[in-house]
Structure 1
């Protein structure tokens, strides 16, 4: 019986030693992989340069050539959605003659269009170094959107319910003052 106990103890010791060796081996492999990654890591400035070069190549694609150099992921996704027919461009005309090409999904509501206008203007201001903050609450209280003489007043109503389709013009107009 003592011999069996002694053999079991020896077997247990051998198994524990093998498990410890495996743990050490796995840990060593992980450390070596981490060291390789650290060696391959670029300084932040060099990484940005590589990223911007890659982005410039992507934007040269005929599908994405209309996008600005400092393109955002949202803008790329919008262009792809347009290409697949999942989105539409609504041309928002301002009083000064500027036309803003706003991309919204096919099932967009008026509120979605307003939010897309806000994002478009904020990105434009960032790129041009313009005004830092716009009170959109004031803007929507002072201006409204008009399509074919009809005001887009109900934020929950779909653009298609107003008859707005791809490449239609919506006018950004000042609300008449109260007398």
Structure 2
């Protein structure tokens, strides 16, 4: 499509043409082929930060559900990780078309994230203090109720 024809397109046609072009680019480029077709700016910025060493990728295992791939800054706190997990899950649901209401307040009251045998229980502590680094796998561990 040449530039002269672009001025004759409606806004919707231009958006569709742009999405088709970006989709083709993402599918054919070996560096971009693993990115989703409907990627948003936030995800692009996160991927660039990972490539520049400013952010890390953390995998969160949710047996039997698929593992979540969450990107957070290197100096992220446990709270930042929890927010990024919720945001990633929201984007994943949007892409799959599922509309499951999740109460993250309930999730974080019921479960902790764990790295090996360490429980990430202090929301204000840096994840690096727990030994969490790039490409580690975290799991959900059920909170143990303390009887009084």
**Kept in 2: contact 1:92–1:170 (CA 8 A):** yes
Task: Give the Cα–Cα distance (whole angstroms) in 2 for the partners of residues 51 and 174 of structure 1.
Answer: 46
RMSD: 2.0
TM-score by length of 1: 0.71
Question: What's the CA shift for 1:55?
Answer: 2.2
More helix by share: 1
TM-score by length of 2: 0.84
Q: Report whether the alignment pairs 1:53 with 2:17.
A: no
Q: Bigger relative contact order, structure 1 or 2, given CA contacts below 8 A and separation 6+?
A: 2
**Kept in 2: contact 1:109–1:158 (CA 8 A):** yes
2:90 to 100, 122, 125: 122
Task: Give the Cα–Cα distance (whole angstroms) in 2 for the partners of residues 58 and 105 of structure 1.
Answer: 28
Structure 1 unmatched runs, 5+? 1-38
Number of equivalences: 141
More strand by share: 2
Partner of 2:3: none
Q: Report whether the alignment pairs 1:138 with 2:142.
A: no
Structure 2 unmatched runs, 5+? 1-5
